[in-house]
Amino acid sequence: MSAPESRTTAAPRPAPRWAREAKPTPEQEDFGPADGAVRRRLYRIIFQHDTRSGLAFDLCLIVAIVASVLIAMIDSVAPLHARHGHVFYALEWGFTIAFTAEYAIRLWIVRSPLRYARSFYGVIDLLAIIPTYASLLLAGSQYLLVVRILRILRVFRLLRLVRFLHEARQLTTALRGSARKIMVFVFAMLAIVTVFGALMYLVEGPEHGFHNIPLSMYWAIVTVATVGYGDIAPGTTLGRLLSSMLILIGYGMIAVPTGIYTAELASSLRARSHEDARRCRQCALAGHEADAHFCRNCGTELDPADGHRDLH
Amino acid sequence: MSAPESRTTAAPRPAPRWAREAKPTPEQEDFGPADGAVRRRLYRIIFQHDTRSGLAFDLCLIVAIVASVLIAMIDSVAPLHARHGHVFYALEWGFTIAFTAEYAIRLWIVRSPLRYARSFYGVIDLLAIIPTYASLLLAGSQYLLVVRILRILRVFRLLRLVRFLHEARQLTTALRGSARKIMVFVFAMLAIVTVFGALMYLVEGPEHGFHNIPLSMYWAIVTVATVGYGDIAPGTTLGRLLSSMLILIGYGMIAVPTGIYTAELASSLRARSHEDARRCRQCALAGHEADAHFCRNCGTELDPADGHRDLH
Amino acid sequence: MSAPESRTTAAPRPAPRWAREAKPTPEQEDFGPADGAVRRRLYRIIFQHDTRSGLAFDLCLIVAIVASVLIAMIDSVAPLHARHGHVFYALEWGFTIAFTAEYAIRLWIVRSPLRYARSFYGVIDLLAIIPTYASLLLAGSQYLLVVRILRILRVFRLLRLVRFLHEARQLTTALRGSARKIMVFVFAMLAIVTVFGALMYLVEGPEHGFHNIPLSMYWAIVTVATVGYGDIAPGTTLGRLLSSMLILIGYGMIAVPTGIYTAELASSLRARSHEDARRCRQCALAGHEADAHFCRNCGTELDPADGHRDLH
Amino acid sequence: MSAPESRTTAAPRPAPRWAREAKPTPEQEDFGPADGAVRRRLYRIIFQHDTRSGLAFDLCLIVAIVASVLIAMIDSVAPLHARHGHVFYALEWGFTIAFTAEYAIRLWIVRSPLRYARSFYGVIDLLAIIPTYASLLLAGSQYLLVVRILRILRVFRLLRLVRFLHEARQLTTALRGSARKIMVFVFAMLAIVTVFGALMYLVEGPEHGFHNIPLSMYWAIVTVATVGYGDIAPGTTLGRLLSSMLILIGYGMIAVPTGIYTAELASSLRARSHEDARRCRQCALAGHEADAHFCRNCGTELDPADGHRDLH
């Protein structure tokens, strides 16, 4: 799984596909530490995940995030809020102060604080602490407190440190590879939803709950995706016939995104297992077919035992 | 399906499968321009998508279509209609006149106006303008106005210009390839729905909402496709047992269209990547990787242009 | 598609896989005609589908079946029954007499009438006519009339004649190949449904509609298959937590039958396209790999152009 | 995953992948019999499935388990309990005493009773008999009786004896192989559910049934998994827009677990068929068909025993 790291090439040639995709993406945080030993050490702990203390920090952060999100959830339950509201309030301030300190330190230790503050996770980090302060200043800002739930997104950053990194990348690579096909599909679906929404508005009308076309389109989405709340349901025979058609379309169309994604994932898995296959002694190109006798890049005869070296 | 025939020849061979499928299909508009420089130029702008002005025209058209559809939607919301109805009315007439002018120009510039008028998109173009005029003549024709929503289908024509052309074609090729299998599946499903609908009418009867067999079949479709509105639900023990069976059938059967489509899409993706592969002059082995310089079987240097000839 | 018929072998070897599967199955009607020229000719028309008159008979039969099923459906709609009941009654007797005559002729022309009468379609043919006669003798047998809907199953017999035969066989072959895996899956699902049904009965109890364990299991099936009528829904916090778990299980588990069926279908498609591949001049074995130079059965060198002969 | 290493050696090689996976797993019961001829014989009957009497015992056990579970289900139906409660009570005690005897014998005949008692199925066996005894001692313990339903899990142990062993293993192997990917997916889904639950609580609020965030998250799970009970449904326009987005996400995301599982299952099926393939002594080309007598690359005669050694 993690074998490919050592694949540095002897001869100049384009990096293999997976390596090109491993280039730091906008989501990856690599701002570089500011100068100074303390800041460098803190950077290593807070932004990187390869040391013992870095790992411990990450674990604490996950626990704090999940705990603060759970408290925000529980706090929304009226009876619990009435009885334990002050405890939740105190805990919430504790977490907010801790996260504020963490945010300040992050700003302090990166080489370019502005770049960090404007990065995706920099914004999320800020959004995680603003609502609590805002609730002091603004009336009616208890709604803002729900924004604290967005803190859960901060956990995604830490996902990278654990062993799921590789799995997550495979999934998102396949998603990205199939993104355009899925957009075509989503567009076709929206057109179907629009047409059926308009037809049902005509056929059923306000007396059966289809008050206007946007509402009918909401019903059409609920139907085509096989959710079917039943808050709006057809009441006429023609409406039921149209519904049945839309349902069959939705039931059949679920095959399309599944097919797209499965085919993409299967082919990316195949490509990867390919990458791990035999390597040329001369030019270090890997991925030779099982029945190849000569390197497809430089023509050198392949060592039949060569395929093993990668794996041991 | 019949792709493998050219596998063994290095000599002139038929174009690769995907290229052959790129032949103009009935959906593609290729009516040919009428004579005259102005008309030819307008044809190039309106019917083709490879010039700067053609692209600009397409973008304007998409914006106009989407805007007019959005207005038709919003206009159906009673309070908005009451307050801003006259604005929507004016805008609607503006769009209608613009689309009418566009339709007239299209008729004027194609070599055979009749062929265009009877083509799929020709009919849609006409349907997009008729309802507004009809609403002047006929009472109660506000229902006709909903037909304007069908304008959304006009966007599909423009789908072809953007970069999604290739993706859309892959999806529809796989759909067409699996169409007969899916028809067999839909027929089997209709038979199941009929039988279960009749049984539930017997078992539950009008007192639980199963008033007649067509209504029971509507319920069966809602159930088998896992939509489950709940407007009609079984009330007896035997009815619930039958429902459970139908639900399990539906849950299991969703695998069938998905399987059909996925297998078709995967095999068409594979076929394509195979067709694109290169062939050794010496030993005729095909399927070389895109970055191969030497045959993996006999070590002969591969003709660099060989892999590309397919693509141009 | 229909090329493989001519695959008679030169040397004794086991028939290819698809041929072994093409052996007459119980569903296939091959009773053999009784003696006598008239009977033989009628047999060819009624039981076989390769003559002009046989095809015409099949089409008439399909029309009659579908029409009689539609009438049975429409007749169940109370207002239509009140107004046109006598017309439906007359038409129903017309169809019943025609089907009775057809059944009698079938019995007369097959070599072994008993074998036909006990075959699957023989029983269906009988079930299609009994209810109408029974309604004369028995009071309250209007329920029996719904059994007429089962006539729809007769159409399946005729499915074989049309061009969908091949597609239907591929689908059912893959279903049969994955049947045991799907049974394991269904058993696991029933166990999950049983356990969650019992837990929800404990947690929610009769006051939220979970009156007994079988009813709770019905709810669990409705939930795990993502149908969700909403006629029974959890009312307690713990119940909602359990529901959420069950829903996630059901949402994830839908991958299993789909995965099973897709993998099976894909591999059977691959196997088939394999069968169509290159054929040895010496021993007529087909299905050689694209890079094979020698027949894997007899070692003869393969004709590089040989792969084409099948297809022209 | 690490299967390909033996590809190049014809010499003694590790057992094929599927055979290595057949090693006793923790779930498999292999405690070893205690000393003594009687105990050894009983062990063979009760714990193993390869003798006639062992099979008969297994069948009796399945019948008893299923019967006792069915009785527990039916007993929960109020009218049946009122009328036949004493019969169910007697039968329940009969089954409980039989299962107790079986449990005692199992403890007696294994080499290490403690290890058996703490194994998964040992605990299940105990849980299957405790509730009935507990109902004598504790008031209100009729709730405990529902725990008897867990007996259904005992049948899984016996699943192994039947021919479905191999199918079940393929399915679970693919599940285990995709477990980490599916965990990433479940985590992403929980985050989406949390965010949408919080947003809907903000937008809809208690007046439309979204009383608190945990309840909103329950609604979000019901929606994203396309269940859609309809007990809680959005009532505002913005809420319906958010719902539509969530529904589309859920409808698209169902592709992800399906894709993961299908790709895994397909690749494990392919890997197996590959492992079983044969290798040429001369040119070391593997992957010969089962019916190949000659290498498809160099024409050397294949060792007929080579392909079979794997399988015995």
CA distances from C186 to B213, C172, C189 (A): 29, 18, 5
Q: Hey, is the C-beta of B244 within 8 angstroms of any chain D C-beta?
A: no
C290 touches chain B (CB under 8 A): yes
Number of alpha carbons in the 13 Å side-chain half-sphere of residue D2: 12
The closest CB to that of A230, out of C226, C230, C262, belongs to: C230
> Which of B72, B153, B167 faces A181 most closely, judged by CB atoms?
B167
Whether the CB-CB separation of B197 and C196 falls below 8 Å is answered with no
Residues in C closer than 8 angstroms to A229, CB to CB, are 230
Look at residue D1 in the predicted model and tell me its pLDDT.
37
Of C215, C231, C276, nearest to B233 by CB-CB distance is: C231
Sequence-distant (≥ 6) Cβ neighbours of residue B21 within 8 angstroms = B169, B173
For C7, half-sphere exposure in the C-beta direction (CA atoms, 13 angstrom radius) is: 24
User: Is the Cβ of A295 closer than 8 Å to some Cβ of chain B?
Assistant: yes
* A194–D contact, CB cutoff 8 A: no
Partner-chain contact B184 C167, CB within 8 Å: yes
Average pLDDT over residues B78-107: 91
Whether ipTM exceeds 0.95: no
Evaluate whether D262 touches C262 at the Cβ level (below 8 Å).
yes
Asked if D42 has any chain A CB less than 8 Å from its own CB, the reply is: no
Give me the DSSP letters along chain A. --GGGG---SS--PPPHHHHHTSPPTTS----BPSSHHHHHHHHHHH--SSHHHHHHHHHHHHHHHHHHHHHHHHTSHHHHHHHHHHHHHHHHHHHHHHHHHHHHHHHHBS-HHHHHHSHHHHHHHHTTHHHHHHHHSTTTHHHHGGGGGGGGHHHHHHTTSTTHHHHHHHHHHHHHTHHHHHHHHHHHHHHHHHHHHHHHHHT-GGGT--SHHHHHHHHHHHHTT----SS---SHHHHHHHHHHHHHHHHHTHHHHHHHHHHHHHHHHHHHHHTSB--TTT----B-TT--B-TTT-PBPPTTHHHHTT-
Q: For C16-19, which contacts have Cβ atoms below 8 Å and span 24 or more sequence positions? A: C16/C275, C16/C286, C16/C287, C17/C271, C17/C275, C18/C272, C18/C275
CA distance C140 to chain D (A): 28
The answer to whether D30 and D19 have CB atoms below 8 angstroms apart is no
Secondary structure of chain B in HEC code, one letter for each residue: CCHHHHHHCCCCCCCCHHHHCCCCCCCCCCCCECCCHHHHHHHHHHHCCCCHHHHHHHHHHHHHHHHHHHHHHHHCCHHHHHHHHHHHHHHHHHHHHHHHHHHHHHHHHECCHHHHHHCHHHHHHHHCCHHHHHHHHCCCCHHHHHHHHHHHHHHHHHHCCCCCHHHHHHHHHHHHHCHHHHHHHHHHHHHHHHHHHHHHHHHCCHHHCCCCHHHHHHHHHHHHCCCCCCCCCCCCHHHHHHHHHHHHHHHHHCHHHHHHHHHHHHHHHHHHHHHCCECCCCCCCCCECCCCCECCCCCCECCCCHHHHCCC
Q: Do D159 and C255 touch (CB under 8 A)?
A: no
The C-alpha of A56 sits at a distance from chain C's nearest C-alpha, in angstroms, of 31
Q: What is the pLDDT of residue B23?
A: 40
A4-13 burial by CB neighbour count: b if 16+ within 10 A, else e?
A: eeeeeeeeee
User: How many Å lie between the alpha carbon of D285 and the closest alpha carbon of chain A?
Assistant: 6
Mutation choice for D interface testing from C178, C194, C215 by most D CBs within 10 A: C194
pLDDT of residue A2 exceeding 50: no
The stretch D162-180 carries a mean pLDDT of 71
A251 vs B159: CB contact, 8 Å cut-off? Answer: no
Is B194's CB within 8 Å of C156's CB?
no
Q: Is pLDDT at A263 greater than 90 in this prediction? A: no
Q: If we measure between CA atoms, which residue out of B24, B304, B15, B58 comes closest to residue B159?
A: B58
Whether D184 has a pLDDT exceeding 70, the answer reads yes
The helix/strand/coil state of D311 is coil
Query: In this complex, is the C-beta atom of B226 within 8 Å of any C-beta atom belonging to chain A?
Result: yes
Angle (CA) D95-D101-D102 rounded to 5° is: 90
Identify all chain A residues contacting C226, using CB atoms and an 8 Å cutoff. Answer: 226
Chains that touch B (3 or more CB pairs under 8 A): A, C, D
Optimal mutation site among D66, D70, D76, interface C, most CBs of chain C within 10 A? D76
Chain D residues closer than 8 Å to A146 by CB = 198-199, 201-202, 213
Q: How far is A178 from chain B (nearest CA, A)?
A: 9
Tokens read off for D1 = 């995953």
Which residue from A116, A92, A94 is spatially nearest to A104, judged by alpha carbons? A116
Out of B199, B212, B263, the one facing C262 most closely (by C-beta) is B263
Cβ pair A123, A29 in contact under 8 A:
no
Q: Is A22 on the interface with B (CB under 8 A)?
A: no
Residue D262 at interface with chain B, using a CB cutoff of 8 Å: yes
Q: For residue A161, name the pLDDT band (cuts at 50, 70, 90).
A: low
Chain B: give the shortest CA distance to residue C255, in Å: 8
Q: What are phi and psi of C203, to 5 degrees?
A: -80, -45
Task: Determine contact: A226 vs chain D, CB below 8 A.
Answer: yes
Q: Is A228 on the interface with D (CB under 8 A)?
A: yes
Least Cα separation, residue A295 to chain B (angstroms): 6
d(Cα B88, Cα D47) in Å, to the nearest integer? 79
Contact between chains at A195 and B150 (C-beta distance less than 8 A): yes
Name which of B163, A266, C51 is nearest C59 in CA terms.
Answer: C51
Q: Which pair of tokens denotes residue D111? A: 């080499």
Among candidates D226, D227, D262 on the partner chain, residue whose Cβ is nearest the Cβ of B262: D262
Residues of D in contact with B258 (CB under 8 A): 258
How many A×B Cβ pairs under 8 Å?
A: 179
Q: Which residue has the higher pLDDT, B170 or D296?
A: B170
On the 0-12 / 13-18 / 19+ scale of CB atoms within 10 A, C197 is buried
**Burial bucket for residue C132 (CB in 10 Å: 0-12, 13-18, 19+):** buried
Q: How many CB atoms sit inside 10 A of residue C291's CB?
A: 19
Token pair 């009809």 in the structure block, residue:
B134
Is the separation of the CB atoms in B110 and B33 below 8 Å?
yes
Q: Given a cut of 90, is residue A97 above it in pLDDT?
A: yes
Which residues of C are less than 8 Å from B13 in CB distance?
none
Contact B164 A185 (CB under 8 A): no
CA neighbor of A142 nearest in space, from A236, A75, A242: A75
Q: Of A240 and D130, which is predicted with more confidence?
A: A240
Identity of the highest mean pLDDT range in A149-153, A210-214, C171-175: A210-214
Residue C9's pLDDT is 38
| Rounded average pLDDT over D249-265 | 83
Q: What's residue C310's pLDDT?
A: 33
- Across the interface, of A156, A225, A261, the residue whose CB is closest to D251 is A225
Of the ranges B242-251, D178-187, D213-222, which one carries the lowest mean pLDDT score?
Answer: D178-187
Whether residue C291 lies within 8 A of chain A, CB to CB, comes out as yes
Which contacts qualify for A190-194: CB closer than 8 Å, 24 or more apart?
A191/B152, A191/B153, A191/B155, A191/B156, A192/A220, A192/A224, A192/A246, A192/A249, A193/A217, A193/A220, A193/A221, A193/A224, A194/A220, A194/B69, A194/B73, A194/B149, A194/B152
Nearest Cα of chain A lies from the Cα of D215 at a distance, in angstroms, of 9
What span, in angstroms and rounded, lies between the C-alpha atoms of B226 and A73? 31
The answer to whether C154 and C127 are in contact (CB under 8 A) is no
Q: Which of B226, B230, B258 sits opposite D230 (nearest CB)?
A: B230
Q: Which of residues 129-168 of B touch C (CB under 8 A)?
A: none
State how far residue A98 is from chain D, nearest Cα, in angstroms. Answer: 22
Please check whether residue B187 touches A, CB under 8 A. Answer: no
**Which residue in chain C is spatially nearest to A254 when comparing CA positions?**
C258
| A67 Rama class: left (phi>0) / alpha (psi -120 to 50) / beta | alpha
Contact B155, B66 (CB under 8 A): yes
pLDDT digits (tens, 9 = 90+) for D5-38: 434 434 444 444 433 333 444 445 567 788 888 8
Contacts of A191 in chain D (CB under 8 A): none
Q: For residue C25, what are its two tokens?
A: 């199955």
Angle between helices B255-275 and B165-177 (to 10 degrees): 120
The subunits that touch chain D, with at least 3 C-beta pairs less than 8 Å apart, are A, B, C
Which subunits sit against A, judged by 3+ Cβ pairs under 8 A? B, C, D
For B106-121, the pLDDT digits (tens) are 999 988 888 888 888 8
In which element (H, E) is residue C155 found?
Answer: helix C154-159
Q: Predicted confidence band at D99 (pLDDT cuts at 50, 70, 90)?
A: very high
Secondary structure class of C110 (helix, strand, coil) = strand
Within a 10 A sphere around the Cβ of A247, how many other Cβ atoms? 23
Output the pLDDT for position D273.
Answer: 55
Confidence of residue B309 (pLDDT cuts 50, 70, 90): very low
Sign of CA dihedral D181, D182, D187, D189: positive
User: In angstroms, what separates the C-alpha of A52 from chain D's closest C-alpha?
Assistant: 24
What is the pLDDT tens value at each position of chain C, 312 positions in all? 344 434 443 444 444 443 333 334 444 556 778 888 888 888 888 887 778 888 888 888 889 988 998 988 888 888 898 999 899 989 989 999 999 999 999 999 988 888 888 888 888 888 888 888 888 887 666 677 777 788 888 877 766 555 556 667 777 777 787 777 777 788 888 889 998 998 999 889 888 989 989 999 999 999 998 888 888 899 999 999 999 999 988 887 888 888 888 888 877 776 655 544 455 656 655 555 555 666 666 666 665 543 333 332
